[in-house]
Structure 1
Amino acid sequence: MTVTRFRDSARYWRTPLLPGADLVTAEYRDHAFTPHWHDAYTIPVIEAGAECYDYRGTHYVAEAGSVPVINPGELHTGARAVEAGWRYRVMYVPVDFIHDLATDISGRVQPLPWFEPGVIRDPVLADRLRRAHHLLEENAADPLAAEAALLDALSMLLVRYGRTRAAAQSAGSDDNRVATMKDCLTGDLTAPLTLAQLADAVGLSPFHAARLFAQTTGLPPHAWRNQVRLQRSLAPLRAGTSVADVAAASGFTDQSHFTRHFRRMFGVPPGRWQGV
């Protein structure tokens, strides 16, 4: 029996019916996503094949018909779990939209919704998410139907699986040190920065500063900084700024360096992102 293999292909797009969101229709086989995060809720539905990913210290496999939700700011990977690869539809939904929807559903202000790690296996939810995504992709020929399907799908996700994350304990000295290091790393993304400078800012040795940062964020300081650079590059790319100029303004050494990291995170080169 011949097994059809998926090809590495992705289309990112936007719709006024879901302001600020990025949506993608994609299939992958050879591409593997390195550890990264998104500022939005990542809400995929696997249409065919299977994807595997590491998330919060556990390895998961999401097969066709499943919904592997990732919370905003959470480090995760992505790769094929079967020889053929996988095909999926994804909504990257802004935090404010999900928060406001949760408040509307309950009738009172809600804490920020949180989804437990793991693969959601709910055929009804998967079908509704797939239908909403498809209607939005059709360029909303019937915007009333598309928006109703979107709210129906996301409301079901929140009602069935939305939780409240346990309140964090009061920040200790290590939390404050990590916050200070993050401020140093993001203050000027184009400025050279050494590990010694980062360590001096928090009163630690370079070894202990690097270890504390990696233990807390899941990435070493330089990799975490590159993630921030990539996230901040999206808006100027959409605005039509050249890839070379965005690369320079984001603090990458050159355009090829920027393109390589961008492709690893988003599955497409930055030039494909422009015009989204």
Structure 2
Amino acid sequence: MWRTEDLGGLELLRATLSEFAFRPHAHEEFFIALTEEGLATPRYRGDTHVIRPGDLVVLNPEEAHAGGPPAEVSWTYRALYPRPDLMREIMAEFPGDRPTMPEFGGDVVRDREVAARLRRFHRLSEPPESSTLEREVYLAEALVLLVGRHAVPPHAPRPPGLERRGVRLSREYLQEHAADNVTLEALARFAGLSAFHLCRVFREAVGMTPHAYQTQVRVRRAKSLLRAGLPITLVAAEAGFYDQAHLTRHFKRIVGLTPGRYLKDATT
């Protein structure tokens, strides 16, 4: 278990259990668990549920649950514990007379799109080179989808709208702070929108997430610095990448060449 201090102290857990069962207990926060491998048979909401790879267990604060994997079976899962104040912010994305706090019912959430985004967010929270903005975007998109599709009752979030000024300000901010570890909160505050709404309107208007746009800006900056004659290791730092390997990975994804090959071709 670890805490992501740059995301407000959100707690995350990665575990593999065998020959172990939780006693009945509850959390102060929401509990969201994504099964990666194995099988679990937890008990909650008056029944025993069979949890398989790709399945999500989503529980409300103070909702009792117990159990673990069956005998001679292991269970590998990733969990996060969003605080109620974070989930209240999510609810602002939904119009109408909605409660201030989402509530989840039913047994098991099976949603490949939500699971993929949560898995990506969780895995990105482990390596040191992952940017705060990238993780925030995956988390925001996952939670909006989760609440919209699986809270009681399901409800579509409000349309993204145009919000041209907010998107323009966001793009300018990312261009001016290309090398900085920009947070979604800071970007949204500058744009005058909520963090979760900014994710949606930015993707709608630009065709990519704020983090993808930030990466594009950084790669363009790297190309300019390479053409100016700076060594690749210095280019990585100046353009905002964690190290040369981080630069190379993203550079090739966008340009189609490694920085070294690009530098060779651009100077011949």
TM-score, normalised via structure 2 length: 0.53
Verify: 1:25 aligned to 2:11, yes or no: no
1:20–1:93 Cα contact (<8 Å) kept: no
Distance in 2 between residues matched to 1:48 and 1:86, nearest whole Å: 6
Shift of 1:101: 1.3
Q: Is the 8 A contact 1:60 1:119 kept in 2?
A: yes
Question: C-alpha separation between the residues in 2 aligned to 1:139 and 1:78?
Answer: 33
Query: How has the CA–CA distance of structure 1 residues 106 and 18 changed in structure 2, closer, same or farther, with 3 Å as cutoff?
Result: farther
User: What are the residue-to-residue correspondences of 1:1-20 with 2, within 5 Å?
Assistant: 12-20=1-9
Aligned 8 A contact 1:51 1:82 in 2: no
What is aligned with 2:111? Answer: 122
Note the residue ranges of structure 1 that are not aligned, 5 or more in a row.
1-11, 166-276
Contact 2:19 2:73 in 1 (8 A): no
Aligned residue identity for 2:60: N
Structure-1-length-normalised TM-score: 0.52
Sort the Cα spacing of 1:87 and 1:100 in 2 relative to 1 into closer, same or farther, 3 A.
Answer: same
2: distance between equivalents of 1:39 and 1:139? Answer: 28
Cα separation, 2, equivalents of 1:34 and 1:145: 36
Aligned to 1:85: 74
Superposed CA RMSD in Å reads 2.1
3-state SS, counterpart of residue 116 of structure 1 = coil
| C-alpha deviation, 1:78, in angstroms | 2.3
Whether 1:160 aligns to 2:149 is yes
Q: Report 1:50-61 matches (<5 A).
A: 50-61=39-50
**Alignment CA distance shift 1:109-1:116 (3 Å):** closer
Q: What is aligned with 1:48?
A: 37
Q: Closer, same or farther in 2 for the Cα pair 1:82/1:151, shift >3 Å?
A: farther
Q: What SS does the corresponding residue of 1:38 show, helix, strand or coil?
A: coil
Name the CA shift for 1:121/1:98 in 2 (closer, same or farther; >3 Å).
Answer: same
In structure 2, C-alpha distance between the alignment counterparts of 1:104 and 1:118, rounded to whole Å: 25
* Structure 2 CA distance for partners of 1:43 and 1:107, relative to 1, 3 Å: same
Q: Which runs of 4+ in 1 moved over 4 A?
A: none
Q: CA deviation at 1:116?
A: 0.8
Deviation at 1:109, TM superposition (A): 6.8
- The aligned counterpart of 1:76 is 65
| Match of residue 130 from structure 2 | 141
Q: Which 10-residue stretch deviates more, 131-140 or 103-112?
A: 103-112
Work out the CA distance in 2 between the residues paired with 1:38 and 1:26: 17
Please list every run of 5 or more consecutive structure 2 residues that lacks an aligned counterpart in the other structure: 155-268
Which residue of structure 2 lines up, in the alignment, with residue 63 of structure 1? 52
Does residue 104 of the first structure (1) align with residue 89 of the second (2)?
no
SS in 2 for 1:80: coil
CA displacement 1:118-160 (0-9 Å, x = unmatched):
1111122111111111112224622111111111111110111
Q: Which amino acid aligns with 1:97?
A: L
Q: Kindly indicate whether structure 1 or structure 2 has the higher relative contact order, using CA contacts under 8 Å at least 6 residues apart.
A: 1
C-alpha separation in 2, matches of 1:140 and 1:117: 38
Task: Identify if the C-alpha distance between structure 1 residues 143 and 86 changes in structure 2 by more than 3 Å, giving closer, same or farther.
Answer: same
Q: Cα distance, 1:81 vs. partner? A: 3.3
User: Structure 1 residues 122 and 109 mapped into 2: Cα distance closer, same or farther (>3 Å)?
Assistant: closer
User: Aligned pair count?
Assistant: 154
Query: Alpha carbons of 1:107 and 1:17: their partners in 2 closer, same or farther (altered >3 Å)?
Result: farther
Larger radius of gyration: 2
Q: Which amino acid aligns with 2:101?
A: L
Q: Verify the 8 A CA contact 1:29 1:80 in the aligned structure 2.
A: yes
Q: Distance in 2 between matches of 1:150 and 1:140?
A: 17
